Chain A
Amino acid sequence: EPEVTQTPSHQVTQMGQEVILRCVPISNHLYFYWYRQILGQKVEFLVSFYNNEISEKSEIFDDQFSVERPDGSNFTLKIRSTKLEDSAMYFCASSGDRYSNQPQHFGDGTRLSIL
C-alpha cells in the first residue's frame, strides 16, 4: 500500500539554526498537510497546501515557518530560526484528488529536538 514517507526520522539542531523537514506524499495525492505534536500533547494542524499554494494555516504557522513543493514529489517544511519550543514530532499528511475525497494518511513523523 502506498505510504507517506518522511525524512529524517530524528533531527537534532542547535537553537537558532534553520531546519528542513522532508516529506514524500502519496504519488497521486493533491492535498498536503503538516501537523505538530509536542511530546505528550495532542496533534495540532500547522498548514495545508494545494495547487502550489498554502490553502490554510494555523496561528502556530508564523513567519518562521514556510512550506514548499520544490519538485513533483517532495513537500518540505522549513523552520528558519529554531526555538526550544519547536521541539516536537512533525507529521506530514496527504489526501487524494478532489473527487475521491480520501482521508488523510500520515507519515511516520520526524522527531525534531532543539538544543
Chain B
Amino acid sequence: AQKVTQAQTEISVVEKEDVTLDCVYETRDTTYYLFWYKQPPSGELVFLIRRNSFDEQNEISGRYSWNFQKSTSSFNFTITASQVVDSAVYFCALSEYDYGGSQGNLIFGKGTKLSVKP
C-alpha cells in the first residue's frame, strides 16, 4: 500500500530562519512520483515540485530546495531564510508513475503547518 507520513504537525519559526519539512513515503511501486504542494490560509493548493523516482538529484528553486533520498524513502523540503508569506500548510504527496499514460491519483500526507513569525 502507498502511504505518506509527515511527522511534523506544526512548526513555528522566526523570519529568516531556515526550516526543513520532513516527508517519508512507502510504496511497492518501483516507479513513482513525489510532490510538494502548498496550501496558504486562503485554501487553494499550489503545486511546488514533482520528482520522479529515477531522479535523485536535489533541486533548488530560489529559497526552496528538495532532498530526495531513495535509500531512506524520504523527500524533504527546506525553506531558506523563511518569510512570513511562507506561512501555510505544506503537503507531501505520492503517485504511481505509468509509462503508458498519466500519473495516478495523489496520496497525500497529513500536512505540516508552518508558521513564520516576524
Contacts and interface: CB of A to CB of B under 8 A. Distances in A.
B35 interface: yes
Given A42-B91, A42-B111, A103-B35, A108 B102 contact: no
A48 B46 CA distance: 19
Contacts of B93: 43
Given A105-B47, A109-B44, A43 B105 contact: no
A96 B91 contact: no
A35 B111 CA distance: 15
A42 B6 CA distance: 11
A43 B108 contact: yes
A75 interface: no
A35 B91 CA distance: 14
Contacts of B105: 33, 45, 48, 56, 58
Q: Which of B43, B46, B103, B106 has the most CB of A within 10 A?
A: B106
A109 to B, nearest CB: 6
Interface string B99-117: 0111111111111000000
A66 B93 CA distance: 25
A33 B107 CA distance: 13
Q: Chain B contact residues (Cβ within 8 angstroms of A): what range?
A: 20 to 34
Contacts, number: 60
Nearest to A34: B105
Interface in A25-66: 30-31, 33, 35, 41-45, 48, 50, 56, 58
A95 B102 CA distance: 8
A56 B102 contact: no
B35 A43 contact: no
A42 B104 CA distance: 18
Interface of A: 30-31, 33, 35, 41-45, 48, 50, 56, 58, 89, 91, 95-96, 98, 101, 103-109, 111
Given A33-B105, A42-B111, 14 more contacts: A42-B108, A42-B110, A56-B105, A58-B105, A89-B43, A91-B45, A95-B102, A96-B102, A101-B102, A103-B35, A103-B50, A106-B47, A108-B42, A109-B44
